[in-house]
Amino acid sequence: MILFNDLKKKYLYLQKEIDNACKKVLRSGRYILEKETEGFEKKFAQYLGAKYCAGVGNGLEALQIALMALNIKEGDEVITTPYSMAASTLAIKMVGAIPVFVDIDNYFHIDADKIEEKITSRTKAILPVHLFGQMAEMEKIKKIAKRHNLFLVEDAAQAHGARYKDKKAGTFGDIGCFSFYPTKNLGTFGDGGAIVTNNKKLYEKCKMIRNYGQKNRYEHELCGLNSRLDEIHAAILSVDLKYLNKFNLIRKNLAKIYSLKLKNIKEIKLPEIRIHADHIFHAFTIEVERRQDLISFLAKNKIPTFIYYPIPIHKQKCFSGFNHLDFPITEKKSKKVLSLPIHPFLESKDIAYISQKIAKFYEV
């Protein structure tokens, strides 16, 4: 059976190592901010080529803590994308700042060429999202941030191990934020997240904020959250991290097969890969004509699909003050996108079957 994500298969594949890692934690009698978390933080920072990593509760709070650590607060403006999972904008709202949206480019990322026209005296940061497993145009964005003295916070929740030239997602800006939600390329069996940075002061501040703002126990230097990566999840993630490159490679190979098989269908626009980018295909998202009919046809053939994302962020009810805004590329793409199954436990024959059904639908 083809599943959109097969987390049970992933568990069974890693079962021995995961069970042992969890047992070790359970038997240790120590469950919060101990050796496993510290160990995972070190390994993940090393994997990314960053100096520091702080494990946190989830991806949303990673972003929120990053903005808090940068002292971004009420009245400040943060430039971001309207085409993402809502968390990237929710984090901005959580610190009381104002999201300022910039339409997207052909790769589903904030359009670097349109950022500067949105900068005002209140702008404090740029928050790009490396959507679907590919990085935004970071060299340009970094230059803009530098030129205007703005912080750069990367949402790398969908880009564990993705690269732009020789640098991994999360290591370009002042702070990189990750989610370890189960379906992510690096995911635990529950919630988890992390912040990475090369700045020791920011790292120390993030560590305080994730733990009630405590400098030492019961000494609260800042007003913080309770947002800690548990020992159990850190232990699971240390196992998963060993397989991240392998799993990313499988995703990349499956994406190649999809692209080859679907390239002659005129009604489909395939995902494009940026020059110098290493796309790790968190999602394989195509743009299609007659989307609803295709979804129904595939469902009848037991092929699950998903729409990432049907409603752009500025059109969401919870952001009612932004509903009147117009971002034509975002809106056009959100009406056409369709994500096909892609995960490390799919096989090339599954991709061939899905592609064959799609070709049948379009009568190619």
Ligand X SMILES: Cc1ncc(COP(=O)(O)O)c(C=O)c1O
Of 364, 304, 311, the residue nearest 340 (C-alpha): 304
Residue 85 sits at the vertex; the CA angle it makes with 79 and 87, to the nearest 5 degrees, is 65
Nearer residue to ligand X within complex by CB, 85 or 235: 85
Distance CA 352, CA 340 (A): 12
Residue 57 — φ and ψ, nearest 5°? Answer: -70, -35
Nearer residue to ligand X within complex by CB, 309 or 361: 309
Q: At closest approach, how far in Å is the CB of 189 from ligand X?
A: 13
Distance CA 167, CA 84 (A): 22
Subset of residues 155 to 184 that bind ligand X, contact rule: CB under 6 A = 155, 157-158, 179, 181
- Which residue of the chain is nearest ligand X when measured via CB? 59
Distance CA 293, CA 279 (A): 29
**Does the footprint of ligand X cover residue 85 (CB under 6 A)?**
yes
Nearer residue to ligand X within complex by CB, 45 or 92: 92
Stretch that binds ligand X, among 107-115, 150-158, 204-212, 319-327 (CB under 6 A): 150-158
Copy the structure tokens of residue 276.
């110098």
Subset of residues 303 to 362 that bind ligand X, contact rule: CB under 6 A = none
Q: At closest approach, how far in Å is the CB of 182 from ligand X?
A: 10
**Going by C-beta distance under 8 Å and a sequence separation of 6 or more, which residues neighbour residue 300?**
none
Of 244, 231, 334, 325, the residue nearest 281 (C-alpha): 244
Query: Cβ distance 285 to 132 under 8 Å?
Result: yes
Q: At closest approach, how far in Å is the CB of 235 from ligand X?
A: 18
Nearer residue to ligand X within complex by CB, 240 or 350: 240
Using DSSP, state whether 363 is helix, strand or coil.
coil
193-197/214-216 β-pairing? unpaired
Per-residue binding letters, 230-249, with ligand X (x by CB under 6 A) = --------------------
Stretch that binds ligand X, among 5-13, 85-93, 141-149, 227-235 (CB under 6 A): 85-93
**Which strands make up the sheet holding 277-278, listed edge to edge?**
167-168, 163-164, 277-278
Distance CA 96, CA 250 (A): 41
Q: At closest approach, how far in Å is the CB of 178 from ligand X?
A: 8
Site size for ligand X (CB under 6 A) = 15
Q: At closest approach, how far in Å is the CB of 109 from ligand X?
A: 11
Distance CA 230, CA 218 (A): 20
Integer angstrom CA distances of residue 262 from 11, 265, 270, 340, 344: 31, 6, 8, 12, 20
**Does the footprint of ligand X cover residue 84 (CB under 6 A)?**
yes
**Does the footprint of ligand X cover residue 185 (CB under 6 A)?**
no
Of 4, 2, 1, the residue nearest 341 (C-alpha): 4
Subset of residues 191 to 230 that bind ligand X, contact rule: CB under 6 A = 191, 193
Q: At closest approach, how far in Å is the CB of 88 from ligand X?
A: 5
Q: Which of 18, 53, 54, 60 binds ligand X (CB under 6 A)?
A: 60
Per-residue binding letters, 20-59, with ligand X (x by CB under 6 A) = --------------------------------------xx
Binding interface with ligand X (CB under 6 A): 58-60, 84-85, 87-88, 129, 155, 157-158, 179, 181, 191, 193
